[in-house]
Structure 1
Amino acid sequence: MSAYSNAMSRYFGFSGRSTRAQFWYYHLVLLGLAVVGIIIDAAISGGQPLVSALIVIAHYIPSLAITVRRLHDADISGWMALLCLVPGIGVIAFILYGCLASTPGPNRFGHGDQVAPYSTGRAPTAASLPSAASNLDRLDKLASLRASGAISDDEFQRMKSEVLAIGAR
């Protein structure tokens, strides 16, 4: 659910990167919402797509944005997302984009460390930040990870406490 909320909080955010997990979890939640919308439509309007149409319209821009960020994560121009709109090959392009491997480390679209917590499946710790960095640099790095959505506010607070504890020694 955090991948969905992350994507929705970056509604018009076409810059940066999104991992495979973020891409697929967002679309899984969107599929669930669409099914619920179809069920509601069948119950209240005899199958006329009212609620489901609103769901699709509300999610059009975030879906396009997360697809562009997914392409950025693979170091591909976001303009390639337009292939998803071509009848016949659009579904194939969508699936391929979702399966592309992430570019390790930074690329021309952003830093790989912004997406590392999702790609490794583990939350970062204060110790995982570069050891050569000063505490101020570590706190700046944590703030940028939180701003990008790579870590939650709770993770940010926990890691900030760890950094401050390390600095107190």
Structure 2
Amino acid sequence: MQWYLKVMKNYVGFQGRARRTEFWMFALFNVIISFVLGFLGGLIDVTVGTVLGYIYGLVVLLPSLAVGVRRLHDIGKSGWMILLGLIPFVGGIILLVFYCLDSEQGDNQYGPNPKAFDPVHNTFAK
């Protein structure tokens, strides 16, 4: 949950780098929250569930883009590569592969390696 809140607090931070853990934990919590909203919407009313889903989607749109761009920065790619997601089928697969790659070692043009210090667990990477 700390990773999710970290991304939500930095919702328009397109500079810097994001670790794989930060990106994937945010994605995991998005899926869980979307499922819960859909389930509750189905219990109450399908229209209410749809509206809740759209509202939640709008709330997490900028944080999702920001953490995706920071994740691309972490592997040394330009944030504009996120536009590959607009290419049907292939673009999403390419982004998925990029999001799964390990961080670039050391500092890069986008900032220091976030694995050097983990502020959530207050430890340094091995």
So what's the TM-score if we normalise by structure 2?
Answer: 0.87
- More contact order relative to length (CA 8 Å, sep ≥ 6): 2
1:8-87 maps to which residues of 2 (within 5 A)?
8-47=8-47, 49-87=50-88
Q: Give ranges in structure 1 of 5+ residues lacking alignment.
A: 118-149, 157-169
Q: Identity over the aligned pairs, expressed in percent? A: 34
1:86-165 map, 5 Å: 86-112=87-113, 114-117=114-117, 150-152=118-120, 155=122
Distance 1:45 1:19 in 2: 38
Q: Distance in 1 between matches of 2:87 and 2:50?
A: 23
Deviation at 1:43, TM superposition (A): 1.8
The alpha-carbon deviation at position 3 of structure 1 amounts to 1.3
- Bigger radius of gyration among the two: 1
Residue 85 of structure 1: how far off its partner (Å) = 2.7
Relative to structure 1, is the Cα distance of residues 105 and 89 closer, same or farther in structure 2, using a 3 angstrom cutoff?
Answer: same
Once residues 29 and 74 of structure 2 are traced to their aligned partners in structure 1, the CA distance between those partners, rounded to angstroms, is 21
Q: Give the number of aligned pairs.
A: 122
Q: Whole-Å Cα distance in 2 between the matches of residues 155 and 85 of structure 1? A: 37
Unaligned runs of 5+ in 2: none
RMSD between aligned alpha carbons? Answer: 1.9
